[in-house]
Amino acid sequence: MTRMVLAPALAVALLALSGLVPDATVLADVLLIEEVRQSERMELPENGLKTADVRARYGEPVTSHAAVGDPPISRWDYDGWSVYFEYDLVLFTVLHKGQVIDKTED
């Protein structure tokens, strides 16, 4: 089993070292880190806000999903991000894939 996993990984590593295949892992890590930095600068709902506060600050969501599970978890989707609620309180806010305010560095 180990040989089956190591062989493809070794082949990709050798191709990357030879310059035939760019090191996509490094590129992906850099992009992810930059996206996290950008998201920290965005004004998004914080944990513990009530649904009424979110609606007052950010307006009506583009779509809202009914609560599921126990405790009930619901989701509101806005352009570029979604906010998850447990009962009436924000659990966390998630950026949609690739969403950042700007792509320039400070």
Examine the domain organization and report whether 37 and 49 are in the same domain: no
Where in the sequence is the domain holding 24, given as residue range(s)? Answer: 1-41
Examine the domain organization and report whether 73 and 35 are in the same domain: no
- 0.85 cut: is pTM over it? no
Q: How many CB atoms lie within 10 A of CB 91?
A: 17
| Mean local confidence (pLDDT), 15-37 | 56
Examine the domain organization and report whether 22 and 66 are in the same domain: no
Examine the domain organization and report whether 37 and 52 are in the same domain: no
Is the pLDDT score of 30 beyond 50?
yes
pLDDT digits (tens, 9 = 90+) for 50-106: 999 999 999 999 999 999 999 999 999 999 899 999 999 999 998 887 666 454 544
The 3-class secondary structure across the chain, one letter per residue, is: CHHHHHHHHHHHHHHHHHCCCCCHHHHHHHHHHHHHHHHHHCCCCCCCCEHHHHHHHHCCCCEEEEEECCCCEEEEEECCEEEEEECCEEEEEEECCCCCCCCCCC
Examine the domain organization and report whether 56 and 103 are in the same domain: yes
Total domains in the fold of the chain? 2
Examine the domain organization and report whether 65 and 92 are in the same domain: yes
End-to-end CA gap in the chain: 47
**pLDDT attached to residue 94:** 87
Examine the domain organization and report whether 68 and 86 are in the same domain: yes
